Chains A and B, each alone.
Chain A
């Protein structure tokens, strides 16, 4: 405990001294040094985030509180055109940035601010979506579920809304609604997105999942992967991937992230040749470890790099 406090104090003090020294010698503040020295992407954004969070200036702290509140009530995306310039101008004022540097610095900083708080808002959005239970009386939910069937099984008509056929695509029982209990509409959105955007890949995975020995339950595994994806984004591990993408993260980017995980997991499972599907928990854990290791590398960005018959523009994105 004491050691911890002393270490923190030393760290805080040293940081101050080093920052002062660098400011005097380079005439640049820490944020500028980060933005100029590091290329666009996760490393720059993560360092800017850390630097802002460590700041003791009341104006910066106030600014962060406001932005955090916007992200958590999910009004950051919409207000970006005002909030980002405001944030940038507050920071440049407080840090007394040389006006000649504005153009170069402000763009870089604005991009980081956009990424940091869009990600935070994304966390709120997916948590909200996971908390909405699947509702049979909701037309949107029902249509979405039927679309999932049509995309995956174009040659088989669903005989009934409640039917054993659902087990063909890996639900547990005759009515998929109960399987969505833990991940809510997020689980459904993810599956439907995978099946309609990467139809070819999804159907390949589905056919692998039907293998008599090395198969798995497509939909259930899919919902478990939603849970994994949610965990990775909420605990911040997925920041590298999202900060390395060109655009500020939005809900659709979470769907893309999910599709990548599904596509990779399917390959991982096939290569592992498990004895039966009772080995799922072990392989899921190993798979998550591999993904986490990838996300620790600062240049990681997950892309599905095989053609998908369904859409030819996947690779050009």
Chain B
């Protein structure tokens, strides 16, 4: 009886939502802040470029997500490393309509994947801005970023439109599944 009670208490203690530290990275103008605000169900009509970073705690899918949204401009990228520690999930956001900077975004992602501090951290790539006519498909982005070469961690690509709020939930579901597996 006592044991039953104890295990019940234990379950109660562990079930309050898993707390996850999520790092949101990507080039400038990829749509990181918009995605974060959308996660928190906030207005996304007046997003200004992020100087520095924003943090938000969001409840989603039975998880408590502490989302760190770091500015993407070149000047700030050297600071990305300061935020790597204790990261549970890396979300990498790509502007699918920005064909000119495919190489640049691929390069930055590679740098992240090769960093020791982020070793083994599952990565979710959002192929954002699918609402734009010029947007590349998620499968094309996956190929251009060579995602199929990733062997050392779970990864996923998800098409989405931050502005319209489409596809974001599917990404979160993948996160919740991959965290449980850990």
- Measured CB to CB, the residues of A under 8 A from B are 130-131, 167, 172-173, 178-179, 181-183, 187, 216-217, 220-221, 223-224, 226-227, 230, 276-281, 284
Residue of A nearest to B28 (CB): A172
| 19 extra interface residue pairs, beta carbon distance < 8 Å, beyond A182-B47, A278-B52 | A131-B45, A167-B73, A167-B74, A172-B74, A173-B27, A173-B29, A178-B28, A179-B28, A182-B48, A183-B48, A187-B48, A216-B51, A217-B73, A220-B51, A223-B48, A277-B76, A280-B51, A280-B52, A281-B54
Q: Which residue of B lies closest to A223 (CB)?
A: B48
> Is B86's CB within 8 Å of the partner chain A?
no
CA–CA, A187 to B75, complex, Å? 21
Is B174 in contact with chain A by the CB < 8 A criterion?
A: no
With A217-B51, A280-B51 given, is the CB distance from A181 to B29 under 8 Å? Answer: yes
| B76 touching A179, Cβ below 8 Å | no
Decide yes or no whether B49 CB sits under 8 A from chain A: yes
Chain A residues, Cβ within 8 Å of B46: 130, 182-183, 227, 230
Is B14 interfacial (CB-CB < 8 Å)? Answer: no
Query: Could you tell me the distance between the alpha carbons of A295 and B48 in the complex, rounded to whole angstroms?
Result: 24
User: Is A179 a contact partner of B49 (Cβ separation < 8 A)?
Assistant: yes
Are A277 and B47 neighbours in the complex by a CB distance under 8 Å? no
Majority DSSP secondary structure for residues of B touching A: loop
B82 located at the interface, meaning its Cβ lies under 8 Å from any Cβ of chain A in the complex:
yes
The answer to whether A278 and B82 touch across the interface, beta carbons within 8 angstroms, is yes
Cα-based distance from A167 to B47 in the complex (angstroms) = 20
Q: Is B72 an interface residue (CB 8 A)?
A: yes
A173 touches B73 (CB 8 A): yes
B53 CB-CB contact with A under 8 Å: yes
Count of B interface residues, CB-CB < 8 Å: 20
Scoring B45, B49, B72, B76 by chain A CB atoms within 10 A of each residue's CB, the highest score goes to B49
Which residues of chain B are within 8 angstroms of A187 by Cβ–Cβ distance? 48
Looking at A172, A181, A217, A281, the one whose CB has the most chain B CB atoms below 10 A away is A172
With A178-B29, A179-B29 known as contacts, the answer to whether A281 contacts B53 (CB < 8 A) is yes
| B residues adjacent to A (C-beta < 8 A) | 27-29, 45-49, 51-54, 71-76, 79, 82
The 4 closest A-B pairs by CB, nearest first: A280-B52, A172-B73, A172-B28, A178-B29
Q: What is the distance, in angstroms, from A235's C-beta to the closest C-beta of chain B?
A: 13
- Name the A residues within 8 Å of B75 (CB-CB): 167, 217, 277
Q: Are A173 and B51 in contact (CB under 8 A)?
A: no
Contacting pair B51 A277 (CB below 8 A) = yes
- A selection of 23 A-B contacts at a CB cut-off of 8 Å is A172-B71, A172-B74, A173-B27, A173-B28, A173-B29, A173-B74, A178-B29, A179-B29, A182-B45, A182-B46, A182-B49, A183-B46, A187-B48, A217-B73, A220-B49, A223-B48, A230-B46, A276-B79, A277-B52, A278-B52, A278-B82, A281-B51, A284-B51
Shortest C-beta distance, A289 to chain B (Å), equals: 17
**Which residues of A have CB within 8 Å of B74?**
167, 172-173
Instruction: Return A231 CB to nearest CB of chain B, in Å.
Output: 9
Whether A281 contacts B48 in the complex (CB less than 8 A), given A172-B72, A217-B75, A276-B79, comes out as no
- Chain A residues with Cβ below 8 Å from B28 are 172-173, 178-179
In the complex, the answer to whether A221 meets B51 with C-beta atoms within 8 Å is yes
How far in angstroms is the closest Cβ of chain A from B78? 10
Cα A130 to Cα B45 with chains together (Å) = 10
**A182: B residues at CB distance < 8 A:** 45-49
Collect the chain B residues with CB atoms within 8 Å of residue A131's CB: 45
Q: Which residues of A contact B49 (CB under 8 A)?
A: 172, 179, 182, 220, 223-224
